[in-house]
Amino acid sequence: KKAIAGFSGGMRQRFGIAQALIGNPDLIIVDEPTAGLDPEERNRFLNLLAEIGENVVVILSTHIVEDVSDLCPNMAIISEGQIRMTGAPLDLIEQAKGTVWAKTIERDQLEATRAQYHVISTRLFAGHTIVHVLSDQDPGKGFALVDGGLEDVYFSCLADVRRKATSQAAA
């Protein structure tokens, strides 16, 4: 007999799942289920989804790559309304091994680095920029091979989509 608005985000998420389970569905679709949850509540909610996933197909739509790697036995990357990549997260990470390189650069070096390498992601850290590039061989100049994760798989897939779109637009 309490208004749901008074509950925490995690409690509201669990309430939504309980509602979805009424009638014993074969399929549940959740959209960004852990957005806005604190780390402890996020873990609880992911565990709940994993338990539900033992008996029900759960489709998880999210931009939080960690949720996918923690929860999903299969995944798809969808961009511009098209499926760009599918597979088991661990298999996709394995396929990317040996192709992702990282280097810390100054901010003002970013454009030159983008012009010279296939940059798939950048991240600011302590006033510097960490770039990840995709290359089948050592790009040299201080790059170090990294154990790419699912985020690198995601970024490399989207970088390929953008690169193809740019080359088609130029043709």
Joined tokens for residue 167: 């080359």
As beta bridge partners, residue 79 has 82
Residue 93: pLDDT band with limits 50, 70, 90: very high
Position 41 scores a pLDDT of: 83
pLDDT > 90 fraction of the chain, expressed in percent and rounded:
43
Strand 75-79 vs strand 100-105: parallel, antiparallel, or unpaired?
Answer: unpaired
Structural domains in the chain?
Answer: 4-72 (3.40.50.300), 94-170 (no CATH)
Read off φ and ψ for residue 122, nearest 5 degrees: -135, 150
**What is the pTM for the complete model shown?**
0.77
Position 119 scores a pLDDT of: 94
**Contact present, 68 and 62 (Cβ < 8 Å):** yes
Position 24 scores a pLDDT of: 87
Q: What is the mean pLDDT of residues 78-95?
A: 93
Summarised one tens digit per residue, pLDDT across range 111-151 is 999 999 999 999 999 889 999 999 999 998 899 999 889 99
Position 27 scores a pLDDT of: 92
**Contact present, 27 and 56 (Cβ < 8 Å):** yes
The answer on pLDDT for 154 being more than 90 is: yes
